Amino acid sequence: MTKRVRKAVFPVGGLGTRFLPVTKAMPKEMLPIVDKPLIQYAVEEALEAGIEEIIFVTGRGKAAIEDFFDHSFELRQVLAERGKDFELNTIEFPVLEAGSIVYTRQQEPLGLGHAVWCSRELVGEEPFAILLADDLIMADTPCLKQMVDVFGETGGNVVAVEDVPLEHTDRYGILDVASDDGRLVEIKGLVEKPDPVDAPSTLSIIGRYILLPEIFDYLSDWKKGVGGEIQLTDSMARLIGDKPFHGLRFQGTRFDCGDKAGFFEANIAFALARAELHNQIQSIVDAYATR
Ligand code: G1P
């Protein structure tokens, strides 16, 4: 029987250089979309997909993430004394049961593949998810839940995919497609950030993965790829053939919050989706549209 996906790895060690200067003193994963940090959206998505154990691969300067997922006794007490139940509720949610969140550090920024490799002992011998918090997905059914459902049908490895403009293939892991039924894609190859002329397709990997633990055998080589970094995509490419490997065209809208324009677009979209903010934000957007 296929094992359940119980653990999720969140690589959060990145320096966030695209958001300097703000990321000089705060993790990029704590940047807010409306009033919640990016990392909270990703953790909520994981929990809604049935994940029970959260593994953060952090780095220096990321302590705010640990504090965020801990109780804040002072704040709790003050809010309770003042009868601010609504606010109290907002700070309670992301706190998981003691022992269900673990942290390990990526001591050197050697790439995404290396960050994932750092979680090997914590993941052990079971399928696991990886979520990149920069990729924020608005969906009726959380993207990872859609993938867990596919994993239940197909087993093997599953990645979330989306079509990108040809000129953007050098920003993503790109699929070489064996077959495609419009929703599920059978993958026969993967290339990290190819030039548009070399790209085998325009189907790109979005930051959601369900991988089998065999990935760690390949990651252990520490082989460097494009940009001199240890790339997760390169090790995933070596997994192809042994077990099924599928891409899922997920239902939903993905925002690239690692990019300034994408980050602001996400803020507008998520604010518009909030009933209490919708009208106000819509009139601001309209006012700028006519300037
Ligand atoms: C990483 C992966 C890439 C993937 C992308 C999704 O790239 O290496 O394969 O397509 O995330 O966001 P990064 O954005 O870290 O450069």
For residues 167 and 137, membership in a common domain is answered with yes
- Across 14-18, 39-43, 285-289, the highest mean pLDDT is recorded for 39-43
For residues 135 and 50, membership in a common domain is answered with yes
Percent of the chain residues topping a pLDDT of 70: 98
For residues 277 and 161, membership in a common domain is answered with no
Question: In which band, very low, low, confident or very high, does the pLDDT at 271 lie, cut at 50, 70 and 90?
Answer: very high
Mean pLDDT calculated for residue range 73-91: 89
For residues 272 and 245, membership in a common domain is answered with no
Mean pLDDT calculated for residue range 156-177: 97
Which letter, b or e, does each residue of 222-260 get, where b requires 16 or more Cβ atoms within 10 Å of its Cβ? eeebeeebbbbbbbbbbbbeeebbbbbbbeeebbbbbee
Residue nearest to atom 15 of ligand 1 (CA): 112
Average pLDDT score, the chain: 94
Question: Exposed (0-12), middle (13-18) or buried (19+): which is 204, by Cβ within 10 Å?
Answer: buried
Nearest-angstrom CA–CA distance, 194 and 201 = 10
User: Is 1 inside a domain boundary?
Assistant: no
For residues 149 and 279, membership in a common domain is answered with no
Torsion-angle region of 162 (φ positive above 0: left; ψ -120 to 50: alpha; else: beta): beta
For 291, the domain range is 259-291
What's the total number of domains in the chain?
A: 2
- How far separated are the first and last CA of the chain, in Å rounded? 60
Ligand 1 centroid from CA 41, angstroms: 18
pLDDT at 45 > cutoff 50: yes
Residue list, ligand 1 pocket, CB within 6 Å: 112, 132, 135, 172-173, 192, 204-207, 231-233, 258
- 119-145, pLDDT tens digit by residue? 999 999 999 999 999 999 999 999 999
For residues 224 and 93, membership in a common domain is answered with yes
User: Is 2 inside a domain boundary?
Assistant: no
Pairing of strands 184-192, 245-249: antiparallel
Nearest-angstrom CA–CA distance, 56 and 80 = 30
For residues 138 and 46, membership in a common domain is answered with yes
Answer whether the bond into residue 200 is a cis peptide, omega within 30°.
Answer: no
